[in-house]
Structure 1
């Protein structure tokens, strides 16, 4: 690995802990909503709550100061962080159905506002699997195939902005494919499956491009480091997408009520 100034990072500052505080706050907020639903004796499967808290735990690990420092100067650490924030955490967060929980716990006015947003034309367009795929994968292509990645090393604020994009785009894409929350006019299985396979192919192509041509270009990372990061993206990205396929088909079987496939303990989310 090449030595460069960004390798010598200062000790963790107060600002480094702010993302962790936010993540803990979100986890507690969800937990309070979960407890409120139980107190009101409304239907709620505990698998939802467990799933969401696992997602927040993955985010907590991804934003732990030591991992953040590793990710800032080592492309392998960056890739681990990207996988946790943009691919694995969103699966568990989405399956926690936070929108459904909000509708069950918020005031009538807030619930009506959420419902209005879900039914809006803007949300229908942005949450379409194809749009979500372009927002998700497009961000990756722009980051790794342009000078933007090198800029994130020099400007930490840009690095944090990339984290936010990874999380939001990854969550939106996952929600568009397997989200259990209410979604008027959500495309059917064939459309979602086609987009998911297209996403898998595009993600694999990007990782191979990075491996073969050593993207991001002109970065301070050596050849071996870049290729190891590309392999992390390829194999672990495949795993997260394989999980999405399994969940998508499992939900489809459950909704069709196929005999011999009693998946209700795992998939009955309400």
Structure 2
């Protein structure tokens, strides 16, 4: 199997892993280009809004940028090289790009920003904005963002990938490896999109239902990590015989990968739960303000009616 890296040399000749070595810049052309394009387009959209006098929350560009940087962090450093031969490092990549990066990207509300930044094509015409709106309302989007689809997909991305020959096949080529990372990112986006509820989408369940959707997939995630930790022999062919230069044991490294998968499932859950509670609180505040305004309007109408009644009594007296 070819474990060639995309950095300065062959991945087979990598020295023992250290955090310093893992953070060295080793760009993947696909993800580096994609990350730069995403940042440029997002920045252009924000500037377009502000030039016409529209506001955009300052936290959203920060969160989106962190999301893009988190993708680049695991794909454009030596982590990507070490991830080809170390299961534990690969699992860090998988967890970040499928569970942390999507949350940060979605909190940046890129779909909302795009809809606000793109100009309308005019009545009877279809431009990029109209096509995006049509896609958001399409049957395809209703299917791929429905929990009946997203939760099994989220679970299958672990079990069906790692516990079948699919993983070894994909790791056998550069295209397969990149495709797998893109898959991890897309699965995370479609899973967390309805739950986060920041951008418009076909499904907008209540806050309690969103929390249930969030926790529905997490036990399976934890079980996957525990299965790797409890295994008594290497389960993934790609990592069964690590290069001698790394100085690691395959089973020990697999157990570490399982621990990372198990522990990491808690972090996104807490982040999403905090975001949902904050959104719920803000929603309740908006509802209360609308109720207060409605009550004020009703009170004004009652006062006007009472004044008119007094005025009519005074007119009769005259």
| TM-score interval, normalised by the smaller of the two chains | 0.7 to 0.9
Equivalence for 2:198: 180
1:173-231 Cα distance to aligned partner (Å, 9 max, x none) = 11121131122442222322222111111111111112223563444341100010110
Equivalence for 1:101: 113
Q: What's the TM-score once normalised by structure 2's chain length?
A: 0.74
1:235-260 Cα distance to aligned partner (Å, 9 max, x none) = 1221112211121222122212299x
Is residue 237 of structure 1 aligned with residue 256 of structure 2? Answer: no
Is residue 58 of structure 1 aligned with residue 76 of structure 2? Answer: no
Q: Give the Cα–Cα distance (whole angstroms) in 2 for the partners of residues 219 and 11 of structure 1.
A: 19
Q: Give the Cα–Cα distance (whole angstroms) in 1 for the partners of residues 61 and 107 of structure 2.
A: 9
Structure (1 or 2) with the larger CA radius of gyration: 2
Match of 2:166 among 135, 140, 148: 148
Q: Give the Cα–Cα distance (whole angstroms) in 2 for the partners of residues 217 and 232 of structure 1.
A: 16
Q: Give the Cα–Cα distance (whole angstroms) in 2 for the partners of residues 18 and 126 of structure 1.
A: 25
Equivalence for 1:225: 253
Match of 1:16 among 23, 28, 33: 28
The Cα of 1:152 is off from its aligned counterpart by: 3.0
The Cα of 1:170 is off from its aligned counterpart by: 0.4
Equivalence for 2:138: 120
1:73 partner SS: coil
1:59-113 Cα distance to aligned partner (Å, 9 max, x none) = 1111114111111111111011112211111111001011111111113222222
Correspondences of 1:76-95 after superposition (within 5 Å): 76-95=88-107
Equivalence for 1:45: 57
Equivalence for 1:29: 41
Match of 1:138 among 132, 143, 156: 156
The Cα of 1:18 is off from its aligned counterpart by: 3.1
Higher RCO (C-alpha 8 Å, min separation 6): 1
Give the aligned length. Answer: 256
Q: Give the Cα–Cα distance (whole angstroms) in 2 for the partners of residues 94 and 208 of structure 1.
A: 29
Q: Is the Cα–Cα contact under 8 Å of residues 7 and 81 in structure 2 kept in the other structure?
A: no
Task: Please identify, of 124-133 and 230-239, the stretch whose mean Cα deviation from structure 2 is larger.
Answer: 124-133
Q: Give the Cα–Cα distance (whole angstroms) in 2 for the partners of residues 90 and 118 of structure 1.
A: 18
Equivalence for 2:207: 189
Unaligned runs of 5+ in 2: 10-25, 121-126, 241-249, 288-318
Query: Against the structure 1 CA distance between its residues 145 and 254, is the aligned structure 2 distance closer, same or farther, given a 3 Å change threshold?
Result: same
Is residue 201 of structure 1 aligned with residue 219 of structure 2? Answer: yes
Q: Is the Cα–Cα contact under 8 Å of residues 59 and 84 in structure 1 kept in the other structure?
A: yes
Q: What's the TM-score once normalised by structure 1's chain length?
A: 0.87
The Cα of 1:41 is off from its aligned counterpart by: 1.0
Q: Is the Cα–Cα contact under 8 Å of residues 126 and 132 in structure 1 kept in the other structure?
A: yes
Unaligned runs of 5+ in 1: 260-270
